[in-house]
Every structure is written in structure tokens, then in C-alpha cells.
Chain A
Amino acid sequence: GENVEQHPSTLSVQEGDSAVIKCTYSDSASNYFPWYKQELGKRPQLIIDIRSNVGEKKDQRIAVTLNKTAKHFSLHITETQPEDSAVYFCAASSVAGSARQLTFGSGTQLTVLP
């Protein structure tokens, strides 16, 4: 089955700096890669996603890049703000029976220091 590894597990940055979180996946058939932000005690919220036919996608301060050959994808947050502090999860969508399941990384605790 699919295996997703995520690094780093914790990341502290100064407000205004950039943050980068990296993930690798194992199943070359995976074709959809969402990123979720989860604040303490809250549900995971989709913040950006990318499909395998695209190499990069940007939405304001957030961007995601995908390298299919190397099987890795990254989340980039620029001009970080204290409200960006949360746990971020990457995921890869692979086949499970007739379903498309999400396999998640282990998460990155991002702390933005004011």
C-alpha cells in the first residue's frame, strides 16, 4: 500500500519568514495530493491540493510543488503569520478496492513566533 513520509515533525519560524514542509510517497499510481491544516481540537481543513498532471500550484501565500519522478511534494508558506501556527498534514490519494483513499503523513507542528 501507499506510504507517506513527512518532514520535519516540528518547525519554528519567525513571523514573516517562509516555511517549507516536505513529503515523499511510495505508490506511483497516486494522483492527488492534498494538504490539510489542523488546529488544536479542530477538524483537518483542506488548504491546497495538487493533481499529478500539474507541477506547481499557488494560492496567495501558499504553494505546493510536485515532483512525480522523485515522488515528493512540498508545501511552501510565505510571509508566515501567527495564525498559521497549526499541525499540517500532507496526504496522497491511492486506490483501496474501488475507493480512492487518502494516506496521510505524520504531521508537522508549525509554530510561527511573533
Chain B
Amino acid sequence: ETGVTQSPTHLIKTRGQQVTLRCSSQSGHNTVSWYQQALGQGPQFIFQYYREEENGRGNFPPRFSGLQFPNYSSELNVNALELDDSALYLCASSSGQGYNEQFFGPGTRLTVL
């Protein structure tokens, strides 16, 4: 098992609400990437944080936002939830901005009703 942890494990929200998901990176890792995994599909890149700055973003609208803290932990915030936001949200930590090997956390299962 990797040292990447996420909370909560499961979450149920209603359409229009806001949600915050949390991720603690593996010891020694300063980069956190967030992915959305819909049922039966591969993870899709949302964005990446390095040294508390967003340094890359996938094809997700601005209502998906994030933060990284000085201890390299990270949050993913989603505003104005839509039904299609129901998915497994995974964070992955890695060492360095260009270092490629990423280790995933267990994910947060978000259900939007």
C-alpha cells in the first residue's frame, strides 16, 4: 500500500451543492494530481498542484478548483454539482514537477443525486 490517503471515502450530495475532497501525499512527494474516474472508464486528469500552485489542467470547467498546502496535502473543490460529477475521485502524488511516477490514493466515491 502507498502512503497516499484520501478523505472521505464516500460522499452523497445533491445537485447544486458544493463539495471538498482531501488528499495527503506520500512522504517526500511534493506534487499532487487529481483525476476523475467515471464508472467503467479510465481516470481523467483534472489538474496538478506543485509547490502550492496549479501547474497544469485538463478539460474540466472552472467550478473544479483546488488548493495545495505547505505540507503538500491538497483539496479538490467542486461547486454547483451536477449529476455527471458522480464518480470516483483519485489523487496521485509524485516527486517533482516533471517526475512521472504517480502513486494513487484509495479515492473518494462521490454520488450526486
Contact = CB atoms under 8 A, between A and B. Distances in A.
The binding surface of chain A is classed by DSSP as strand
A49 B100 CA distance: 10
Contact of A44 (B40, B101, B104): B104
Given A89-B42, A96-B58, 19 more contacts: A32-B100, A34-B100, A43-B90, A43-B105, A43-B106, A45-B104, A96-B48, A97-B56, A98-B55, A99-B47, A99-B56, A100-B56, A100-B98, A101-B56, A101-B58, A102-B33, A102-B92, A107-B41, A107-B42
B59 to A, nearest CB: 8
B109 to A, nearest CB: 9
A46 B103 contact: yes
B106 A102 contact: no
Contacts of B42: 4, 6, 89, 91, 104-107
18 contacts: A1-B59, A43-B105, A43-B107, A44-B104, A51-B100, A95-B56, A96-B48, A96-B56, A97-B54, A97-B55, A98-B56, A99-B47, A99-B48, A99-B50, A100-B97, A101-B33, A101-B48, A107-B40
Interface of B: 2, 4, 33, 35, 40-45, 47-48, 50, 54-59, 90, 92, 97-107
Place the interface of chain A in its size category: 20 to 34
B3 to A, nearest CB: 12
A114 B101 CA distance: 33
A34 B56 contact: no
Interface in A38-88: 42-46, 49, 51
Contacts of A103: 45
A80 B31 CA distance: 35
Interface in A2-58: 4, 6, 31-32, 34, 36, 42-46, 49, 51
A111 interface: no
Nearest to B41: A106
A100 B47 CA distance: 10
A43 B43 CA distance: 11
